Structure 1
């Protein structure tokens, strides 16, 4: 088998795998390595273009290789360092005579557990009040798979305990399901009791 034949198989496989990795939004490292796999795919597509005299394929994938390099730098370089800094501050604060910290960048996508450690759902976002810079409510996604069939709930930050390693809901799974439901595309201006 020739290099062009191998590249002809590697290119689409790498592109499909990388697309799934980045679309899944499973965190900084998975997204970053998705761009690494995208780079393998774009280099393979360039080789396919070179061996088949398709200049448009070579030019397009040469540009995509540069874009993928930026993605690698952003997700495995810059963003990974930011997350590491936030995690380090949270861990250090948990063992010092200061208030414990939780990185705000880690709120979206964080799992919420009950008192027994059972996962109730995932935080989608947090809404802040402009007047006093406090969290008005957090949006908790429960049920469903990959956002399909999920239910969104507005939860008061007073019902949550932020620890360096987790977010815990102060209540039972039934209490979590009883939280106010909100529409996917129409969130309230304030938390309703």
Structure 2
């Protein structure tokens, strides 16, 4: 049950985040897209390591989590260069 929730949340949140980022609605929206990507990665890391057949997805999402945190920093925390 928990693994199903993690798997589906990760998949749906990742798709929504990708849509938001691809629409290029500005820095703030892109930053929020990366926040959603972060939650998706966390869910898929949990799912990947709770499911013995999905460790590859868990490992991939550790790397994606770092990338997504960089996106959050760049778009929501760091001041835009002028």
TM-score, with structure 2 as normaliser: 0.90
Select the structure that is richer in strand.
Answer: 1
Distance 1:23 1:47 in 2: 26
Query: Could you list the per-position Cα deviations for residues 139-167 of structure 1 after superposition, in whole angstroms to 9, with x for gaps in the alignment?
Result: xxxxxxxxxxxxxxxxxxxxxxxxxxxxx
More helix by share: 2
In structure 2, what is the equivalent of residue 20 of structure 1? 19
The equivalent of 1:71 in structure 2 is: 71
**Distance (whole Å) between structure 2 residues aligned to residue 17 and residue 71 of structure 1:** 16
List alignment gaps of at least 5 residues for structure 1: 87-193
CA displacement 1:99-145 (0-9 Å, x = unmatched): xxxxxxxxxxxxxxxxxxxxxxxxxxxxxxxxxxxxxxxxxxxxxxx
Question: What root-mean-square deviation, in Å, do the aligned CA atoms of Structure 1 and Structure 2 show?
Answer: 1.4
Q: Which one has the largest radius of gyration?
A: 1
- Aligned pair count? 81
SS at match of 1:82: coil
Tell me the equivalent position of 1:82: 80
TM-score (normalised: structure 1): 0.40
Question: Tell me, which stretches of 5 or more residues in structure 2 are unaligned?
Answer: none
Distance 1:58 1:18 in 2: 18
TM superposition shift of 1:82: 2.5
